[in-house]
A and B are shown apart, each in its own frame.
Chain A
Amino acid sequence: MDFNDTPEEAAYRTKARAWLSKNAEPIDPNEPAADPLAEREDEKTIQAAKAWQAKKFDEGWACITWPKEYGGQGGTTMQNVIFNQEQARFKTPPNIYTIGHGMLGPTIMTHGTPEQKAKYVKRMARGEEIWCQLFSEPAAGSDLAGLRSSALRDGDDWVINGQKIWSTGAHFSKWGMIVVRTDPNAAKHAGLTYFIIDMESKGIEIRPIKQINGGSGFNEVFFTDARVPDANRLGAVGDGWRVALTTLMNERVAIGAGSAAGGFKNLLKLARDTRRNGRPALQDSAVRQRLADFWVKQQGLKYTGFRTLSALSQGKTPGPEGSIGKAVGAPMAQELAAFAVELQGPLGATRDHAYSVHEALWQNNWLGVPGMRVAGGTDEILKNIIAERVLRLPPEIRLDKDLPFRDIPTGPPHK
């Protein structure tokens, strides 16, 4: 048991750190932590992010785990983790490539034709164009395979109609990856097909969704007779579910690599600076008990992450137990934010940059975390995954599994 890098890992870390020191400013550890849920996507930020990605690509630090022929470095997952750990110590633009590099690139490399791989993957690695995912629909979230957007064959093209939702960054993406229903007479999972679509095509309308925190990181995307060439089909007709699973498996890895919001250090400072029962809240034993629980859980998550890294370091593939991070982390982040807001008493009900404690960091957090519990698999779906794939308990009974899709019952239409 040893927390240190192996000699090879240490050498790689030194190399990464040296390159970063030459190309970016280090973060001052005494600066207050930035709001991790803040959305920063103005044009200037996007340009800065593209420039940073291009620099990494040109100098050999982009898409570290991808094969060299696709613009990657042919490196290990552990090297990628090490580079990301080092990069986190420097002021760099936000990563707008999580979906493309984390999920979509690997999907094209797994299922694409040689032409598709040659056309898209290397460009994706350099980051000149941004990619988005078009999976969820208003009536197909946790039950993704229940999606209803359709594609009908018309000569060398397919014609797409329907609506997608929760598409992160669709408004600044050049390419999208979409799953649609090509055969409503087939059973639910059998009638789907997967395409790469140019987001600038005619018949695509993108509307930002206003979230409860006022931000708009997600979009609704409407398709009205939008055309996509058959050459852009990824995998066989009717094989879209299998292709989509590749994307979703990579989503778990991409999201699991992130960390929970709301640092404990900030919370301790808050408890010291606010008062309860005529003294600093930090002296109140009920507050201390809660603080201890948060600390213990955060530590548990941190070291669970270390155990995953150890498995990676030994060349093993992390399994579905990686769902713990989000299944525990997201509800905890919500409890923590609610606790921090409550500590502030009546002023906790303000979200005023000038007057609220810590410039309304905790209120912003509180409004952001309900989304964390839903995005990328709800708490309930993650618990199903743990129960079924880790503990091998029986799968859910699915009444719609073998019915032709058109005969599956639906509820009344939404408002």
Chain B
Amino acid sequence: MNFDFSEDQKLVQKTARDYLAEHSPLATCRRVLEGKDLYDATLWKGVAEMGWLGAAVPEQYGGAGLGHLEMVLIAEEIGRALAPIPFSSSVYLATEALLLAGSEEQKKKYLPRLATGEVIGTLAMHEGPGDADAASVKARVENGRLTGEKLPVPDGDVAGIALVLVRDGSGLSLVIADLDTSGVTRTSLTSLDPSRSLAKLAFSNVPVETVGAAGKGWELAEKVLDRAAVLMAFEQLGGATRALEITREYAMGRYAFGRPIASFQALKHRFADLYCAIELARSNAYYGAWALSHGNDELPLASCGARISASEAFDLAGEEMIQIHGGVGYTWEYDCHLFFRRAKLLSLTLGSPSEWREKLISRLETRDAA
């Protein structure tokens, strides 16, 4: 039994932590949150130079050829830093989709550019409020050209390519679209977390190429989301753990009624509950990482466990961070809202926890019936 990361993998994580401590302090996140930039381009370039964007991409496609066990630990550090870059969209969604289902030609065409960060990728599934829903996809492809609208699309305003879930002659398919062509209109949406952008993408007669088997788009998107859920769970864990650390530090130094507020049992129990939530999420995420890296058929269940508990843990951490800080926690000046916002954005972006709970039970039923 060795349910732990190797020393080499931990070294990758340490390098990532040190790099981000220097190049992505919380002030970097705040700068994007408060400014006009949609992401921090300098940090994006640095992260690309570190080789993280292509960490799980084989060397023949311009990647570092490491595995997912290294990638999840980098994701955890991205989460700790609240890095204001389109990492999850480009790496967990677009890159994973192409690795999973891209043709040789598509991999050669897109993966090297995604790995260098020269192009940003994303996945466009939703068309309005509510969970993703196979029956209500309206975006259409006819004669290889896409027309329709997608929203919200994570990082859709900064992405150069998007994997899009569409309806075509064979049902639902996943297609890849170049967003820098005429016929594509990008509209930035006001995000709950302005350090990470959301957009509306409108397509009018845009040429696209099918990725994977035509008519299997829904199944393929589900598989991509399962992989992304595990990677995202680590990013959420990183954020939740950092929120706990900062809040602990504050509560130790803040005095009321003649003692540190961290000494009050009402707060100690809140801290203990949060710690338990994070550790359960960590255990579920580890299991997801194992299933992902071994290509194990447990992944459809393991991803649900990782997704649900990491979303709950980070959301809870964001809420408790403000509550335990008290009044200052509600000010723009303190960093609590950075975590509060990011937690909610991440727990909704790949589908809400309730959607994943439903998915989980359906999958358990299928397995039980088999």
Contacts and interface: CB of A to CB of B under 8 A. Distances in A.
Partners in one complex: yes
B293 interface: yes
B276 A9 contact: no
B3 A306 contact: yes
A383 B4 contact: no
B358 A297 contact: no
Contact of B271 (A293, A299, A393): A393
Nearest to A383: B272
B309 A296 contact: yes
Contact of A300 (B271, B284, B304, B360): B284
A144 B268 CA distance: 21
B40 to A, nearest CB: 32
Interface of B: 1-6, 69, 248, 251-252, 259-260, 262-263, 265, 268-269, 271-273, 275-276, 279-281, 283-284, 286-287, 289-290, 293, 304-305, 308-309, 354, 356-358, 360-361, 364-365, 368
A380 B358 CA distance: 32
Contact of A387 (B272, B287, B357): B272
Contact of B259 (A78, A302, A311, A394): A394
Contacts of A410: none
A303 B69 contact: no
Interface in A265-308: 268, 282, 285, 288-289, 291-293, 295-297, 299-304, 306-307
Given A3-B1, A299-B305, A310-B2, A324 B279 contact: yes
Contacts of B269: 380, 383-384, 387
Nearest to B359: A292
Closest 7 CB pairs of A and B: A300-B280, A292-B357, A303-B283, A387-B268, A394-B263, A383-B272, A386-B272
A289 B358 contact: yes
Nearest to A299: B305
Contacts of B1: 2-5, 9, 78, 306, 309-310, 313
A292 B308 contact: yes
Contacts of B280: 296-297, 300-301, 304, 324, 328
Contacts of A2: 1-2
Interface string A378-415: 00101110111011011111000000000000000000
A321 interface: yes
26 contacts: A1-B289, A1-B293, A3-B1, A3-B290, A4-B1, A9-B1, A268-B364, A282-B361, A285-B358, A289-B357, A292-B304, A292-B360, A295-B364, A296-B284, A296-B360, A303-B283, A310-B2, A313-B1, A324-B275, A327-B272, A380-B265, A382-B272, A386-B271, A387-B268, A387-B272, A391-B271
B364 to A, nearest CB: 7
Given A324-B275, A397-B259, 19 more contacts: A3-B290, A4-B1, A292-B308, A293-B357, A295-B305, A297-B309, A299-B287, A299-B305, A300-B284, A303-B284, A304-B279, A310-B1, A324-B279, A324-B280, A383-B269, A383-B272, A391-B248, A394-B252, A396-B263
Interface string A351-389: 000000000000000000000000000001011101110
A396 B265 contact: yes
A394 B361 contact: no
B96 to A, nearest CB: 19
A289 B3 CA distance: 29
Nearest to A78: B1
A142 to B, nearest CB: 12
A85 to B, nearest CB: 10
Nearest to A288: B361
Q: Chain A interface secondary structure, helix, strand, loop or mixed?
A: helix
B347 to A, nearest CB: 14
A300 B265 CA distance: 26
Nearest to B280: A300
Contact of B283 (A289, A292, A295, A304): A304
Interface residues of A, number: 50
A393 B283 contact: no
Contact of B268 (A5, A6, A302, A383): A383
Interface string A10-32: 00000000000000000000000
A306 B283 contact: yes
Nearest to A81: B1
Nearest to A308: B3
B360 A393 contact: no
Interface in A306-336: 306-307, 309-311, 313-314, 321, 324, 327-328
A394 B256 CA distance: 14
A295 B281 contact: no
Contact of B287 (A303, A386, A393): A303
A1 B3 contact: yes
Contact of A289 (B286, B289, B293, B354): B354
A151 B279 CA distance: 44
A210 to B, nearest CB: 32
Nearest to A302: B283
Contacts of B3: 1, 3, 303, 306-307, 309-310
A393 B262 contact: yes
Nearest to A312: B1
B357 A288 contact: yes
Contacts of B4: 1, 307, 310-311, 314
Contacts of B281: 300
A309 B1 CA distance: 7
A3 B291 CA distance: 11
A383 B358 contact: no
Nearest to A291: B361
